[in-house]
């Protein structure tokens, strides 16, 4: 991570304004980059860009490589010649406040299928894309085509030939499903062309993309189907144990994520080749990478498959030192941030120190305990860290202040600030505290920049309903806000 003091905004692509029901990689994303430049912000942090399945979460995906077609911009498709302007007539008006993923899925699939049906000859760039990405694209496109042909069944329930990837069986199915396979490749080509264009535009404005890499992948994914040996699965392809975390400040019963757990012994024997391919691919599309659940690279919380909560899991050691030696050997210049929230041991901190990875400091966690020693309080921050008012898993600062904060936390907050403060002012106050921090990078969730209440919360960990839906108001990116942010950036040397 760069040494100079900087600040940026956390806003996922889905939250951008758009008349198509979800934020995308089109004009509003470019407009947001313009706003960041005007506000003198140097970093745009986003969440994972992979396709979504369970609960619309970007952390549950059928691929660790593929892009989410819901983020493809229909307007950019018109610019690129894939669609006609008249194709963009909407069946109905979409909500400006929340994403309806089911309706958006039908709309975007319709656009993409219409564009694909008109294709007579794809260009050399497409052929080059397919060739360069064949190591994941072939498996992914076949996986999605097979899954659709089997009416959405989990791959472990497919016929034996498909489940165990028998060569003769799959070759026959490839012939039968060629059009569906080609469609998936076409969609991925469109996505990554649009993403490359947006990233270049941001970089040209002096803005870095701060991406997010989930540690785990989803069981019902092309990654697990194509590489079952690197996961702890039974003979039928089902997980023996699943991932999560024990009870902590986010959840009283822990978080049961349900992802299959890596077989690190097998990975180590293969020089972590799958991980190295994954990192190399993702580092092309982001300037800074947050590795989610860094604690899981020292020990993994493994819960018996079938348990309903994460309470009865146990820690299993992971060869984190060896793994990150390989990472740093392959990617010595990568800017990596460790997500080190939750129960963190000395082993985890020591691994982060050896690698030089900054961790995260969350201000809404800063008032739970002693004001002298709480590591999240600004006076205890070090330069090599990233400070946040809150994360995508937290309530907004205003929502936290009004509904989640205990009487002791309130007393600690007012004592630390040296004054009492109202709900209307609390978000701006913690934004200022973040910008004042010694941390080299300060990241401000857009909801806190706007001072929004709990209705703008993005995710409730441990739940599957009504998450990932919040959308930014369409008229909030004005010069008054950008000037105010720019003034604070100057004031605090960022």
Calculate mean pLDDT across residues 363-376.
94
Q: Please indicate whether residue 339 is annotated as part of the active site.
A: yes
Report d(CA 341, CA 360) in Å as an integer. 7
pLDDT in tens, 13-22: 999 999 999 9
Residue of 205, 183, 182, 186 whose CA lies nearest to 194: 186
Residue 342 has a pLDDT of: 81
- The percentage of residues in the chain with a pLDDT greater than 70, rounded to a whole number, is 99
Calculate mean pLDDT across residues 154-174.
97
- Residue 336 Cα distances to 1, 63, 214, 313, angstroms: 7, 21, 13, 28
The catalytically annotated residue of 80, 166, 393, 410 is: 393
Report d(CA 352, CA 348) in Å as an integer. 6
Q: Please indicate whether residue 292 is annotated as part of the active site.
A: yes
Contact 217, 181 (CB under 8 A): no
pLDDT at 252 over 90: no
Q: Tell me the two tokens of residue 303.
A: 């819960």
Calculate mean pLDDT across residues 48-63.
93
The catalytically annotated residue of 220, 223, 339, 448 is: 339
Residue with tokens 């806190």: 448
Both ends of the chain: CA-CA distance in Å? 14
Q: What φ, ψ does residue 328 adopt, rounded to 5°?
A: -70, -30
Q: Please name the residues in contact with 17: beta carbons below 8 A apart, sequence gap of 6 or more.
A: 23, 28, 96, 471, 472, 473, 474
pLDDT band at 383 (very low <50, low <70, confident <90, very high): very high
Q: Please indicate whether residue 56 is annotated as part of the active site.
A: no
Calculate mean pLDDT across residues 239-246.
94
Average predicted confidence (pLDDT) for the chain:
96
Residue of 307, 319, 226, 232 whose CA lies nearest to 269: 319
Dump the DSSP string for 47-87: ---S---GGG-TTS-S-SS---GGG--HHHHHHTTSS-GGG
Least confident of 62-71, 173-182, 324-333, 334-343: 334-343
Residue 465 has a pLDDT of: 82
Instruction: Give the three-class secondary structure for 211.
Output: strand
Calculate mean pLDDT across residues 117-136.
91
The catalytically annotated residue of 220, 223, 292, 453 is: 292
Residue 250 has a pLDDT of: 64
pLDDT in tens, 167-186: 999 999 999 999 999 999 99
Calculate mean pLDDT across residues 278-301.
96
pLDDT at 121 over 80: no
pLDDT band at 1 (very low <50, low <70, confident <90, very high): low
pLDDT in tens, 459-475: 998 777 889 999 999 99
Report d(CA 18, CA 473) in Å as an integer. 10
Residue 463 has a pLDDT of: 79
Instruction: Give the three-class secondary structure for 307.
Output: coil
The CATH code of domain 6-358+440-487 reads: 3.20.20.80
- The percentage of residues in the chain with a pLDDT greater than 90, rounded to a whole number, is 92
pLDDT at 122 over 90: no
Domain residue limits, the chain:
6-358+440-487
369 or 430: whose pLDDT is higher?
430
């Amino acid at each position: 991570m760069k040494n100079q003091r900087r600040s940026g905004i956390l806003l996922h692509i889905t939250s951008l304004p758009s008349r198509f029901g979800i934020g995308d990689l089109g004009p509003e994303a470019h407009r947001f980059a313009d706003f960041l430049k005007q506000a003198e912000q140097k970093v745009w942090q986003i969440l994972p860009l992979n396709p979504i399945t369970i609960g619309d979460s970007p952390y549950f995906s059928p691929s660790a490589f593929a892009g989410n077609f819901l983020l493809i911009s229909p307007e950019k498709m018109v610019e690129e010649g894939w669609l006609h302007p008249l194709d963009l007539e909407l069946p109905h008006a979409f909500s400006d406040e929340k994403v309806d993923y089911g309706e958006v899925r039908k709309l975007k699939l319709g656009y993409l299928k219409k564009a694909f049906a008109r294709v007579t000859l794809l260009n050399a760039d497409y052929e080059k894309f397919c060739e360069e990405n064949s190591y994941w694209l072939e498996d992914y496109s076949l996986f999605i085509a097979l899954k659709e042909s089997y009416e959405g069944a989990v791959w472990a329930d497919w016929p034996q030939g498909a489940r165990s990837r028998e060569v003769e069986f799959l070759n026959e199915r490839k012939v039968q499903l060629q059009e569906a396979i080609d469609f998936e490749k076409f969609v991925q080509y469109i996505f990554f062309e649009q993403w490359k264009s947006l990233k270049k535009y941001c970089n040209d404005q002096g803005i870095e993309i701060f991406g997010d890499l989930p540690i785990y992948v989803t069981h019902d994914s092309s990654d697990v189907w194509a590489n079952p040996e690197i996961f702890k699965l039974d003979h039928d392809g089902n997980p023996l144990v699943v991932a999560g975390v024990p009870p902590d400040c986010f959840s009283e019963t822990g978080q049961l994520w349900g992802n299959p757990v890596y077989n690190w012994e097998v990975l180590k024997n293969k020089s972590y080749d799958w991980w190295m391919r994954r990192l190399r691919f993702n580092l092309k599309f982001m300037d800074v990478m947050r590795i989610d659940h860094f604690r899981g690279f020292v020990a993994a919380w493994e819960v018996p498959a079938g348990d309903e909560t994460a309470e009865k899991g146990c820690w299993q050691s992971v060869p984190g030192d060896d793994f990150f030696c390989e990472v740093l050997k392959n990617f010595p210049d990568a800017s990596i941030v460790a997500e080190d929230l939750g129960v963190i041991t000395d082993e985890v901190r020591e691994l982060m120190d050896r690698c030089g990875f900054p961790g995260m400091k969350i201000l809404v966690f800063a008032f739970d305990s002693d004001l002298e020693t709480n590591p999240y309080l600004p006076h205890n921050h070090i330069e090599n860290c990233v400070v946040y008012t809150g994360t995508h898993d937290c309530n907004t600062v205003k929502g936290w202040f009004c509904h989640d904060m205990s009487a002791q936390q309130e007393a600690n907050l007012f004592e630390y600030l040296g004054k009492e403060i109202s709900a209307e002012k609390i978000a701006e106050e913690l934004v200022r505290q973040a910008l004042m921090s010694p941390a080299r990078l300060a990241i401000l969730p857009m909801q806190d920049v706007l001072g929004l209440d709990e209705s703008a919360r993005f995710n409730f960990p441990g739940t599957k309903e009504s998450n990932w839906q919040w959308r930014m108001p369409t008229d909030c990116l004005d010069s008054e806000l950008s000037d105010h942010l720019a003034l604070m950036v100057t004031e605090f040397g960022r």
